[in-house]
Amino acid sequence: MTSKPLPFAASRDLPAPLELALEQSHEVRAKVEACAGDLASKNESVKQQIADGATTLSAQSSLHASEEVEAQVLECADDLHQVTETLAHGIEDLRNVELALATSRGALAQVESSLAAAQEDAGRWKMRSLHDVATGLPNRDLFNDRLTHAISLAERHQWTLAVMFLDLDRFKSINDNHGHAAGDMVLKEIARRMLQHTRDEDTVCRNGGDEFLYLLVNPQGAENVERIARQILATIALPIGIDGLNLVVSPSIGIALLPDHATTGAELIALADAAMYGAKRQRLGYAFSDRTRETDGATDAHPLRFPHVHEADVMVASHMTNGS
């Protein structure tokens, strides 16, 4: 009797020693079944002879038959011993495989943990590289990126944009008289107050030192921009309490609009910066750029214009701070 081959699905996932042991076990089983068959056949033969009236059987014939069966049994025993050894090797291989898998899982877990930590660190460093350390506001690089994106959207949807350039008056005296720690606290408070007027689509940026940039996306007209500028003036001019002191700063704000004044980010920032210096010189609080963008190859540039209403707004903020 021949052994049956293992099904492919059952054998393909086993280590080679175990697969061999299974094949050998089928062969041993076939031999054992053959021995049992031979013994049964011989027993039937003896029974038939007795039934036919035989009272004695040939001793030599019986001995020969027994020796044949004994040889087959011994051969099966040897085969079983080989199967046992093969199984032992297969089990050892399985244990090694399981140990290797466990080690691999542990190593994989460590790699995944290290990767997660590296990604977290990368995220933190990216956050730091794009944000101001003192205030947490976006820095100039991130502001430029958002401004470029906003200009693309504005051109596509026919929106307007406004860029405000803010400079804090009297901030240097705070650093000189109360130290840089107090100055940093003032900057953080100014940033917090400015964010009160910021929508999700807008961006407030610390440009460096005591300068800030403010991008307004689709502000729905110059009137809204002017209203926000007045709110910022009044909010920032309120006293800032630090260690029992009431420190007061006030901003000068320059404003440039897209597409009225310029169509590129660099031009908007430059024009807002120039308007801010004009507002500072005349102590008007805020001023729009009076430069018009190029038309038909010519540039119509005018001196900065400062509406008188701005001065009244600054006077209100000044009285609020002086009376505290």
Active site residue ranges? 210
Q: In this structure, are residues 205 and 142 in contact, taking their beta carbons and an 8 Å threshold?
A: yes
Q: In this structure, are residues 161 and 150 in contact, taking their beta carbons and an 8 Å threshold?
A: yes
Burial (Cβ within 10 Å: 0-12, 13-18, ≥19) of residue 272: buried
Q: What is the 3-state secondary structure (H, E, C) of the chain?
A: CCCCCCCHHHHCCCCHHHHHHHHHHHHHHHHHHHHHHHHHHHHHHHHHHHHCCCCCCCHHHHHHHHHHHHHHHHHHHHHHHHHHHHHHHHHHHHHHHHHHHHHHHHHHHHHHHHHHHHHHHHHHHHHHHCECCCCCCECHHHHHHHHHHHHHHHHHHCCCEEEEEEEEECHHHHHHHHCHHHHHHHHHHHHHHHHCCCCCCCEEEEEECCEEEEEEECCCCHHHHHHHHHHHHHHHCCCEEECCEEECCEEEEEEEEECCCCCCHHHHHHHHHHHHHHHHHHCCCEEECCCCCCECCECCCCCCECCCHHHHHHHHHHHHHHCC
Strands 161-169 and 211-217: antiparallel
